[in-house]
Amino acid sequence: MIRQANAIDFWRGLALVFIFLNHIPGLYYSHFTHASYSLSDSADMFVFLAGWALRYVVGQPGRQQSGGYLVLRLFGRALTLYAAQILITMIAIALLGGAALLADNPLLLEWHNAAAVFQDPVPTHVGLVLITHQLGYFDILPLYVALMVMAPGIALIDRYVPKLLLPVSLALYIVTLAVPISIPTWPVEGQWFFNPLAWQLIFVLGFLIAREDGLGEFVRRHMIAIRIVALPLVLFFLGVVQFNWWPDPTTVPEPKLFFIFSKTYNSPARIIQFLALISVMTVTYPYIRRFAPPLVAYLSMLGRNSLYVFCVGSILSLSGQIVRFLYKGNIYIDTVVVIIGIAIMTLTAWLPEWRESIRRR
């Protein structure tokens, strides 16, 4: 049965639209996403909500499936995400190849780390399958795959020693930043843009806050106090982004990754700003639901079908970049790209629900 519109699907739908816009560099409309005013961006929201969604799969205390079933189901989900990553990467490579042929322009073959695929295909195809080679802007799903591979461990700790989950996650995060530990890419030398050992913390926080008891209960019970603390933090970080109110990164103490704004390691300031932002932002949901129900229904539909929409959105972002390049990006082209892109994302979310409704008749 299709879920009713709800806050989680609504915010996830919004994150998907913002990811689509933010993944087209230079796009005029990306100025209207919160990434322009915030340390964190849609990636943080997407991963946090993925952790929240994991709670739906694992179940609340007392209403849980067997451990074995859970592990199999989560590994199955990881496999689905992996297959999606391989599929969209292959489509992206074909898009770049086709556009390069069409425009007779080899620069397109070099976009987003794709050159290795064309020039050094033997090791690079191994790297693609191992997800140690990732195209630029196609690096969130590998993170999600890695998190889903960790998910059975997270779910089992949560079931049998729930009080240990946050300390373990926090300890892993601290060690990753303090050492620091990076995940290398291959065959092109580098590191994963999203370090899963660091990003697991925001995923686990989403999972724990979605719990009816424990941290989730604490957050809900003290939400007003949290928002009172959060609002000045959001405003302060707005100043940090807009007016550079932060010490020079070379002057911060060691280990520096704790005090700079690294997206790769999802530095503490990003996480604090993100948590503050969502606690303030969620105030608006009841009003949006009351005054703009079609918007809630629409974004919830995108959120309910997030994997399909994310995959199609990634391809649309790349297509948008190619179109902007071919037609010399300007506001008119940007408008066309955004309208067509969102229309296709809408169709992508609507189709499976339409099929489901036909099946149920």
The reply to whether 331 sits near another protein by the rule CB under 8 A is no
Among 118, 218, 285, 308, binds another protein (CB under 8 A): 118
Among 34, 73, 112, 227, binds another protein (CB under 8 A): 112
Write down the least CB distance from residue 175 to another protein, Å: 16
Write down the least CB distance from residue 115 to another protein, Å: 7
Write down the least CB distance from residue 187 to another protein, Å: 6
- Considering the complex, state which of residue 97 and residue 153 has its C-beta at the smaller distance from another protein: 97
The reply to whether 348 sits near another protein by the rule CB under 8 A is no
The reply to whether 104 sits near another protein by the rule CB under 8 A is yes
Among candidate residues 202, 269, 218, 265, the one with its CA nearest the CA of residue 52: 202
Among 11, 261, 298, 310, binds another protein (CB under 8 A): 261
Among 64, 120, 289, 315, binds another protein (CB under 8 A): 120
The reply to whether 239 sits near another protein by the rule CB under 8 A is no
Q: Is 321 exposed, middle or buried (0-12, 13-18, 19+ CB in 10 A)?
A: buried
The reply to whether 122 sits near another protein by the rule CB under 8 A is yes
Q: Which one of the spans 147-155, 212-220, 275-283, 320-328 is the region binding another protein (CB under 8 A)?
A: 320-328
The reply to whether 219 sits near another protein by the rule CB under 8 A is no
Among 242, 330, 335, 357, binds another protein (CB under 8 A): 330
The reply to whether 262 sits near another protein by the rule CB under 8 A is yes
- Considering the complex, state which of residue 136 and residue 162 has its C-beta at the smaller distance from another protein: 136
User: Which positions touch another protein (CB under 8 A)?
Assistant: 25-26, 100, 103-107, 109-116, 118-123, 135-137, 185, 187-191, 193, 248-250, 252, 256-257, 260-262, 321, 324-325, 328-330
